[in-house]
Structure 1
Amino acid sequence: MSSVITHPLETEQTAVTEAFAPPPARPVIEVEDAAALGRRGPFRPGRLVPARARMQVQGLSRFFHLADAVVAVAATATTIVAARLTPAAFAPLVLGALALPLALHTLEAYAFRRRETFQRHGLRVLAALGFAALTVALSTLASGAAGFAPPILAGWGLGLGLMIGLLHLAWWRMVDRGRREGRLTPNVVVVGATDHAERFIRSALATGDVNVLGVFDDRAERAPSHVLGVPVLGDTGTLIDHRIIPYVDRVVIAVASTAEARIRQLVARLEVLPNPVSLFVDVGREAERNAALARFVDLSGAATDARRAFFKRGQDLVIGGLGLMLALPVMLVTAAAIKLDTPGPVFFRQRRHGFNNEEILVWKFRSLRHEMADAHAARQVTADDDRVTRVGRFIRRTSLDELPQLFNVLKGEMSMVGPRPHAVGMKTGDVESAKLVACYGHRHRMKPGVTGWAAINGSRGPVHTPEQVRERVALDIDYIERQSFWLDLYIIAMTLPCLLGDRSVAR
């Protein structure tokens, strides 16, 4: 069991902005697909959004706060310049511009409470604008600012009020839409059909803080068919392989904390998951009215650092966008060479594991003969493989076949740096690679990368032995634990020298 960290319920999770539209990818699974996702419960999200695409209200609120402050400063500066105010005259406007963001924060205009109407939210904004106008009026009277005409105050107040009002309408609609689409409400599954599970589900139903998608129980033969309407979908073995896992932000063990032996057994079974696993600690009847009072104890798979994920996504968009622009001529030449070399499509698409075991379609330039394509990597490429084309041999050796994965990066399915994505069902020998290492799923605690720590440390290309699989997983987990902006830049910088100096690797 890993170190224990106690923290309040994190009601919102990390998001990835999907700003570009590469070739069609696997669509979001609709809840109506009951065969794939099991029975529906009372939470019934409109659709299940992958955990990698979850947004966080706290992060959005910080952005809204900054945007309002910028608008207040811009409106004030425009008024000062247009009216040619002296320092003594414009000082009250500056105080008003500073007072507005403070008032909006104090009146909780950035809280965006669940189930709060825009009318009520608008009253908070109006009160903050009134406080800012009052600040300007009182400071003007106190200083006796000469040449400060009432029309200037009226123009400043009306212009600023209109802009802030429109912004908050946009903010509120953005948050409301995000919640309706399932991008802002975390999804959890509960392990243990117990009284603790009932209390947790009741609090979630009352507050809407989380969506409880299902219950799993290690004693499934004695478990009820549902808990407060939330279906019991199977035992812990079913959970590990369930298709719902990519959409789950947290696995919650709802077993009494005094049942230490059972908790240890559950953690031992569930730590193979890439999802964070936590113990629900019931703090009493008050928790039924406020899920934020329920507390978790992290047991394995630390939750994603929202700030780090935000900056890593920004890094991916900038570097990935620049990389795509620079690589476009090379990609066009590569595509033409493939088309002239052998019949078949230019691109090869393969289902691979992404964040939280999500299956994503990874794009590559085709390097094998079309009739011999192996979408499941049942037979990994070897030296002098007869399936590899002439152009394919060159683009695999130079890793040019990986360039289309920049589309996956911009889509938000991959990162520039991370564990390399392995094909779903990939085999090492006659055994599925994922079954060779107990902690194999831990490499999916971060989005896969175009390049990675393992790639620049010699673990590149196919893995033909169990030892190579273990080495690859160990390097991937080492990167996940150490990931930082500077380490990513180092890996990107070292990728090309490593590729040029490692031509012996069969890819």
Structure 2
Amino acid sequence: MPGKARRGPFRPDLWLNTRQRNATRLRVFHFRVLDILGVTAATIVAVARLADGAPLSARLVDAAPLILGAVAVLSLLRSLGLYRFDKSHGFLSHLASVACVIAIGAALTFILGYALHGAMTPWGGYSRWSAGVLALLLAAHAAWSLLVADWRRKGALTPNIVVVGATRHAERLIQEALQRRDLNVLGVFDDRLARSPDAVEGVPVLGEADALLNHRLTPYVDRIVLAIDPKAESRVRDLTARLGALPIRLTLLIDPKTAEQRNAALEKLAQAPMAPLEGPVDPDRRAFNKRLQDVVLASIGLVLLSPFLLLIGLLVRLDSDGPALFRQRRHGFNQEEIVVWKFRTMRHAAADATASRQVTADDDRITRIGRFLRATSLDELPQLLNVIRGEMSLVGPRPHAIGMKTGAVESARLVAEYAHRHRIKPGMTGWAAIKGSRGPMHTAPEVRRRVQLDIDYIERQSFWLDLWIIAVTIPVLLGDRMSVR
């Protein structure tokens, strides 16, 4: 929880940052996988009964009607949006929709069965399959619906916004949000703080607009709403440019004239269905695929490399005093603070948790084994734990230490778009790493190049690009003997 001071009327029962709420929304993919497994199992059992207990020996004409029914049910559940669990559809209407889908699947099964078998159609087998699938999916979707309702009630699916501008627009938005209770307004910021009240409809004014750039609430914010007069074009442009540095969506609130328009505007902000399943370039599908890729590959890597990791840990302890692992606070998704694990490569007394002094060639702080681990990037392997925990990804912008400096200046202050790196989870390797931008950055141009490569990756990210980056990471790193890491 970001703190108890100056909390307004919107108090989530469950404080989750943006990454954690996104992970909750993506659980809809887990729901669908379980449905697929359940319907497939029911279909195999039904086919086995028709083939006297041997499903592999079943004839195609016997299995085809059941397979058609199963495919129809699963396809309709997805195409009709029954995995979105939209709050506008009630519990009973959702279950009724699921029952209708199963009825359609059963009807197709009976029709194809009769066309193939005529008077010999196994009506009893088809009826038992239909009843089994109906009972299974109604029970599953009842459980899913109750679970989603509980998440929504606790705020796990409720969007968090902050309002910029302590104006009459903000006042009306907050009044409506208080009545609806499907939108959390965490705070108000104003670029004209001297003229602002202490609170707007009970929501505290937390500082100037620029305070959002490093505020403790920022990792919890899903959207920034500019509640200022759109006619003030220069002010809108200025705020958009300044806040555009954040990895958070920015919305300009056009003052609605009627209650219906206000409700429509708030509905657009508050919509929080589960992640959609359709669409080849859907961002939620892409995020789920990336997470699945991370969990599978990181788990396999951790199991296979565990003896090697224990050996490295032992060598680190034998080489110098201090623990084998080094922890460092770094920025993650949406500027969330995460603790990143590495094998210790510096003398324990000289550890630099904030990277205030970047590593140089022949750095006297680095141990003998540490120099080898850095040269081969083996010191990063404990971050597999961060990947499994969901704080990092296998591929993404490298996480930088909070307060890291380039020369005497904090690196984040050298590039306006620096925070755009945080629009995706940080990675163990990434586009910048295989393009030669890795290790310490000693000049402003190096920072700008790193940020540009990271943004290029975010805009191009895909499942196959990630696999390619993972595949070429080891030969690229081992083939580069000139880089200081």
Question: Contact 2:164–2:190 at 8 Å: present in 1 too?
Answer: yes
Structure 1 288/344 Cα, relative in aligned 2: closer, same or farther at 3 Å?
same
The counterpart of 2:189, out of the listed 216, 220, 242, is 216
Is 1:461–2:435 an aligned residue pair?
no
Deviates more, 1:408-417 or 1:77-86: 77-86
Is 1:251–2:224 an aligned residue pair?
yes
Higher helix residue share: 2
Counterpart-to-counterpart distance in 1, 2:268 and 2:141? 31
The counterpart of 2:394, out of the listed 404, 416, 438, is 416
* Residues 418-437 of structure 1: CA deviation (Å, up to 9, x unaligned): 22111111122222222222
Cross-structure match for 2:349: 371
2:459 counterpart letter in structure 1: E
Cross-structure match for 2:274: none
The counterpart of 1:356, out of the listed 325, 330, 334, is 334
Question: Contact 2:177–2:266 at 8 Å: present in 1 too?
Answer: no
Structure 1 451/58 Cα, relative in aligned 2: closer, same or farther at 3 Å?
closer
Structure 1 88/481 Cα, relative in aligned 2: closer, same or farther at 3 Å?
closer
Structure 1 180/392 Cα, relative in aligned 2: closer, same or farther at 3 Å?
farther
Q: TM-score, normalised on structure 1?
A: 0.80
1:48 counterpart letter in structure 2: W
Count of residue correspondences: 467
Question: Contact 1:79–1:156 at 8 Å: present in 2 too?
Answer: yes
Structure 1 467/144 Cα, relative in aligned 2: closer, same or farther at 3 Å?
closer
* Residues 24-48 of structure 1: CA deviation (Å, up to 9, x unaligned): xxxxxx26x31xxx42233311232
Is 1:337–2:337 an aligned residue pair?
no
3-state SS, counterpart of residue 252 of structure 1 = strand
Counterpart-to-counterpart distance in 2, 1:488 and 1:52? 20
3-state SS, counterpart of residue 224 of structure 2 = strand
Structure 1 418/228 Cα, relative in aligned 2: closer, same or farther at 3 Å?
same
Is 1:285–2:259 an aligned residue pair?
yes
The counterpart of 2:133, out of the listed 160, 169, 182, is 160
Higher relative contact order (CA 8 A, sep 6+): 1
3-state SS, counterpart of residue 404 of structure 1 = helix
Cross-structure match for 1:196: 169
Structure 1 segments of 4+ aligned residues over 6 angstroms from their partners: 85-92, 105-108, 134-144
Structure 1 185/416 Cα, relative in aligned 2: closer, same or farther at 3 Å?
same
Cross-structure match for 2:242: 269
Counterpart-to-counterpart distance in 2, 1:400 and 1:211? 43
Give how far 1:486 is off. Answer: 3.5
Give how far 1:469 is off. Answer: 2.2
Give how far 1:162 is off. Answer: 1.9
2:430 counterpart letter in structure 1: G
The counterpart of 1:173, out of the listed 132, 137, 146, is 146
2:169 counterpart letter in structure 1: H
Give how far 1:294 is off. Answer: 4.2
Counterpart-to-counterpart distance in 1, 2:23 and 2:425? 18
Give how far 1:49 is off. Answer: 1.5
Question: Contact 2:50–2:62 at 8 Å: present in 1 too?
Answer: no
Q: TM-score, normalised on structure 2?
A: 0.84
Counterpart-to-counterpart distance in 1, 2:413 and 2:215? 16
Give structure 2 stretches of 5+ with no counterpart: 52-57, 271-281
Structure 1 402/247 Cα, relative in aligned 2: closer, same or farther at 3 Å?
same
Cross-structure match for 2:160: 187
3-state SS, counterpart of residue 363 of structure 1 = strand
Is 1:446–2:424 an aligned residue pair?
yes
Question: Contact 1:88–1:145 at 8 Å: present in 2 too?
Answer: no
Structure 1 160/478 Cα, relative in aligned 2: closer, same or farther at 3 Å?
closer
The counterpart of 2:11, out of the listed 19, 44, 55, is 44
How do residues 33-112 of structure 1 correspond to structure 2 at under 5 angstroms? Answer: 33-34=3-4, 38-55=5-22, 64=31, 67-68=34-35, 71-72=38-39, 74-84=41-51, 97=70, 100=73, 109-112=82-85
Counterpart-to-counterpart distance in 2, 1:208 and 1:227? 17
Structure 1 450/90 Cα, relative in aligned 2: closer, same or farther at 3 Å?
closer
* Residues 300-337 of structure 1: CA deviation (Å, up to 9, x unaligned): xxxx9323222222222233233323332321211110
Question: Contact 2:25–2:157 at 8 Å: present in 1 too?
Answer: no
Cross-structure match for 1:399: 377
Structure 1 131/238 Cα, relative in aligned 2: closer, same or farther at 3 Å?
same
3-state SS, counterpart of residue 374 of structure 1 = coil
Cross-structure match for 1:309: 287
1:231 counterpart letter in structure 2: P
Deviates more, 1:149-158 or 1:235-244: 149-158
Is 1:114–2:87 an aligned residue pair?
yes
Counterpart-to-counterpart distance in 2, 1:286 and 1:394? 65
Cross-structure match for 2:360: 382
Give how far 1:461 is off. Answer: 1.4
Counterpart-to-counterpart distance in 2, 1:340 and 1:88? 68
The counterpart of 2:408, out of the listed 426, 430, 433, is 430
Cross-structure match for 1:483: 461
Structure 1 93/494 Cα, relative in aligned 2: closer, same or farther at 3 Å?
closer
Deviates more, 1:306-315 or 1:391-400: 306-315
3-state SS, counterpart of residue 78 of structure 1 = helix
Give how far 1:51 is off. Answer: 1.3
Counterpart-to-counterpart distance in 1, 2:482 and 2:43? 64
Cross-structure match for 1:5: none
Counterpart-to-counterpart distance in 2, 1:499 and 1:471? 18
Cross-structure match for 2:275: none
Cross-structure match for 2:302: 324
Cross-structure match for 2:273: none
Counterpart-to-counterpart distance in 2, 1:107 and 1:78? 27
Counterpart-to-counterpart distance in 2, 1:457 and 1:150? 63
Give how far 1:87 is off. Answer: 8.0
Deviates more, 1:375-384 or 1:130-139: 130-139
* Residues 346-383 of structure 1: CA deviation (Å, up to 9, x unaligned): 10000011111111101000111112211111222222
Counterpart-to-counterpart distance in 1, 2:477 and 2:115? 70
Question: Contact 1:203–1:291 at 8 Å: present in 2 too?
Answer: no
Structure 1 361/181 Cα, relative in aligned 2: closer, same or farther at 3 Å?
farther
RMSD of aligned alpha carbons: 3.4
Cross-structure match for 2:55: none
